[in-house]
Amino acid sequence: MQAIKLYNFPRSGHAHRVELMLSLLQLPTELIFVDLAKGEHKQPAFLALNAFGQVPVIDDQGVVLADSNAILVYLAQKYGNGRWLPTDPVGAAKVQRWLSVAAGPIAFGPARARLITVFGAPYNAEEVIAYAHTVLKVIDHELANTPYLVGTEPTVADVAAYSYIAHAPEGNVSLDEYANIRAWLARIEALPGFVGMPRTVAGLQKTA
């Protein structure tokens, strides 16, 4: 099949979600670098792909889609062969819950903490880090009795949550207290086709 184009920025956890999903599905991928530092995502050519001016965007043989979680759902439904996205009402709802967590609490906690250290975002670090730990405590508790976020098999929920949690230490958010999360991260990283996001020497990662 023809390669799926992924417009990405390597240090974006949102873009990494999609890169990881494409790799887990073993889909041929053409990575197209979008230079956020130079504002390329705000230029007319990119805005024609995503009017919100955000990575990631995919072009799958003319099907152009934006929003990382929406792309995960599309890829799982089209190429997942019944895996990655439950179709029963309860399973589908549980996945949707975690996609909302990825877009909400994870984005406002671990992801935002990393924005401060890696990209110089002007948030209150103390407040953001405290909120990140509140979120991680809940997730760690939920992972106490299940290997993945939605049951015994990995789903797009795990892919959506992985990147910013795995890189939380870059935002000075330690994972030391969260044994269940660390075990879950290891399970994701052991999946065939796993690809990581480049680590930046920021926050706690300086000494890791």
Per-residue pLDDT of the chain (208 residues; tens, 9 = 90+): 899 999 999 889 999 999 999 999 999 999 999 988 888 898 998 999 899 999 999 999 999 999 999 999 999 999 999 899 999 999 999 999 999 999 999 999 999 999 998 888 889 999 999 999 999 999 999 999 999 999 999 999 999 999 999 999 999 999 999 999 999 999 999 999 999 998 876 777 665 4
Class of domain 4-79: alpha beta
Q: Domain-by-domain residue ranges, the chain?
A: 4-79, 89-206
The pLDDT tens digits for 133-162 are: 999 999 999 999 999 999 999 999 999 999
89-206 folds as: Glutathione S-transferase Yfyf (Class Pi); Chain A, domain 2 (1.20.1050)
CA-to-CA dists, residue 38 to 34, 35, 43, 121, 202, angstroms: 9, 6, 10, 16, 21
